[in-house]
Chains A and B, each alone.
Chain A
């Protein structure tokens, strides 16, 4: 049953009627229970933090509130009456609005067109533009209504998302992992806006996140979810980072060690005098010189230069949308260069040619493994051998036995959990799929390992494993490039850190010199 300890924080909140109540909500996907007997109450004037690691069920819960998914059991009450939220339109009519992080804006359209998406009244351009101006003014979210989304930065896009959500006048605003695309300064601004929204207008806000620091900082009450259940609920003022961490993960946690996974940035702030020794003597394994890449006339990579030596971990920090994805694609031989050079172990590589960088010894764990890291419909064994099929073949014919042997070896070494080497990759969990990609890439003894957002979407255990593996790769002499939008991850793993902004490197420092504040400035675009 529920381990929830519903504290009664005192007279005030108890008298405010709840706006939304989820009662014993359960959702199953086949044999997997995503949410089990979840109770959650959102009240007006309150920022309710929903904390849990990836896979705890927070997203599924929110999807039910917004109508993308229907609960199997339990009920949802909106302002006291039970409701069935069939789709986003119904949710909106009931006063539930969500600020999405991705997948909600249509790029070629303008701001005012996007803001109107999903409404049911007649299209009126003048009215829409007025609305954008008014709401922008009111909440401090100014943006040009005629701009096309494709031309806007991530921070501005989030403003549009907020305006789009707020113009429907929702009583309840849900924010799902909002700060992953924001600089620290922009995050502050967002939380400030949220306070306004909540305090001035008596709305309810649900802030969903896997980051401790964020929840501690921005919420009034917190509900912690673990493996689909609610495990704790208390006012944020009563909670400490340690207690939250323990509830999130279910065991005693050394914040020092797990801070990265839990998003407890503050504890990572004090630099540690660790890091690889004598790396400066090692050879440069990867060198990018003035790399430029244009897409639709815009330079997404603009004179990018960096160097990585064998045995060191170079962390490339930066808010999403500054060219990280293109950098990852470039190093995956998916994009050609417009200018500049890429050298691996001293030898120039022709980018854009299929498999060129892989052949040169560059292994990549891509940002989105489904997109370019694996083939979901092939088996685990086949995925483990994608680019080196000649290893298990004789004169062009695949040796089934050798394929299987190799798969079993790698599965044991990397602790990959699957029904068997012939199981379709689709049936594995995200963490295990990531291990398959890692196993394949590391099995070729690469010179360079590029890990792009390697722990995105993984649970704490999987994050720890990946982090350990990355560190080990560096210890084994591989030059590691870690591209991540999570500052915690960068600080935890890197020996040297550079910051990317608008397609080029704008500053760098060693781990010893790094503090959250310095990095924060760079991330905001202020050159060091």
Chain B
């Protein structure tokens, strides 16, 4: 028992751990917040994975050619949006099964990214780290919260924006109605499938931005490889479930999963030998366990993952 306290203590007192955790959590959060909006509209997009990769890739490409981080970020958001656009139109205009489309899009994007990887040398940036004076000197978590590369801070406006969109605008009201009772919404004059498509594109923008932030906000890796994204899109969906389809819960979920991703990276640094495969599996196993515990307790949007066609039984 005492033997465990050592490692746990080390982990809890390592500021590298917290920094790493925040980085993972923030990237997850971009995708998760976007998907949260999309799921409130009643859609379930496993192509979030593809949106992340697409954003990472486009961001990297544009950065490599322009050397401008800002442009890279914008390009990333656009890249994610393009993929979201395809998903949205295939699933909510042509009513093709959204899981099939999502899966295929993921494979397509991964194929494209790996294919083009060889042809384009992507540099990743070491984006300027913004260290907020005084606050970043706070012990343990100071640098984690206030000493990140600047693209990471973009999450700070994105979250309240998403909240405001969903709860304080007419668009958000219509999105929520489309997710709970699309028949009622339709009959009341709301264009259900349009709102769903728009929500998915929003998810694409957020996830694409997240992918670009991942690429451009990195500290350690110099050459980008598309494999770095590693199924984080799916974990983002798990975070939404964990959070009970609330924004606060989703963010908590991102922190939780971020922690386990960070654990895998940090333990070796701290000098602990842990089997790399088992450590890699940990975040996903935790995600599994977590969804198992939390899925029943919560109110999922009544029409989640059910396509809507007017007049069909």
Contacts and interface: CB of A to CB of B under 8 A. Distances in A.
Most buried by B among A100, A117, A119, A370: A117
A88 interface: yes
Contact of B184 (A106, A119, A370): A106
B177 A123 contact: no
B181 interface: yes
A123 B184 contact: no
Given A108-B299, A113-B173, A118 B313 contact: no
Nearest to B301: A108
Contacts of B313: 370, 376
Contacts of A105: 181, 184
B187 A103 contact: yes
A106 B186 CA distance: 11
A258 B84 CA distance: 57
Nearest to A121: B170
A106 B177 contact: yes
A123 B310 contact: no
Interface in B233-268: none
A389 interface: no
Interface in B75-124: none
B187 to A, nearest CB: 5
Contacts of A106: 176-177, 180-181, 184-185
A88 B170 CA distance: 17
B184 A104 contact: yes
B276 interface: no
Contacts of B177: 106, 109, 117
A275 to B, nearest CB: 38
A42 interface: no
Contacts of A119: 170
A88 B173 contact: no
A91 B187 CA distance: 11
B168 interface: yes
Interface in A121-146: 121-123
Contacts of A186: none
Interface residues of A, number: 26
B199 to A, nearest CB: 16
A486 B313 CA distance: 24
Contacts of B188: 88, 104, 117-118, 164
A120 B169 CA distance: 11
Given A68-B310, A89-B189, A92-B189, A120 B184 contact: no
A107 B186 CA distance: 14
Nearest to B177: A106
Contact of B187 (A68, A116, A122, A370): A68
A376 B312 CA distance: 12
A87 B189 contact: yes
A89 B187 CA distance: 9
Given A68-B310, A108-B180, A376-B313, A123 B187 contact: no
A438 B250 CA distance: 48
B183 interface: yes
Contacts of A121: 170
Contacts of B180: 106-109
Contacts of B187: 68, 88, 100, 103-104
B190 A123 contact: no
Most buried by B among A113, A118, A119, A120: A118
B268 to A, nearest CB: 47
B170 A123 contact: yes
A68 B311 CA distance: 9
B18 to A, nearest CB: 37
Interface in B152-177: 168-170, 173-174, 176-177
A119 B188 CA distance: 9
A20 B55 CA distance: 53
B163 to A, nearest CB: 14
B109 to A, nearest CB: 34
B235 to A, nearest CB: 27
B313 to A, nearest CB: 5
Contacts of A109: 173, 176-177, 180
B189 A123 contact: no
A118 B181 CA distance: 14
Contacts of B299: 108
Contacts of A117: 173-174, 177, 184-185, 188-190
A355 B183 CA distance: 31
B173 to A, nearest CB: 6
Contacts of A164: 188
A429 to B, nearest CB: 14
A123 B168 contact: yes
Most buried by A among B181, B188, B313: B188
28 contacts: A68-B187, A68-B310, A87-B191, A88-B186, A88-B187, A89-B189, A91-B189, A100-B187, A103-B183, A103-B184, A104-B184, A106-B177, A106-B180, A106-B181, A106-B184, A106-B185, A107-B180, A107-B181, A107-B302, A108-B299, A109-B180, A117-B185, A117-B188, A117-B189, A122-B170, A123-B168, A123-B169, A376-B313
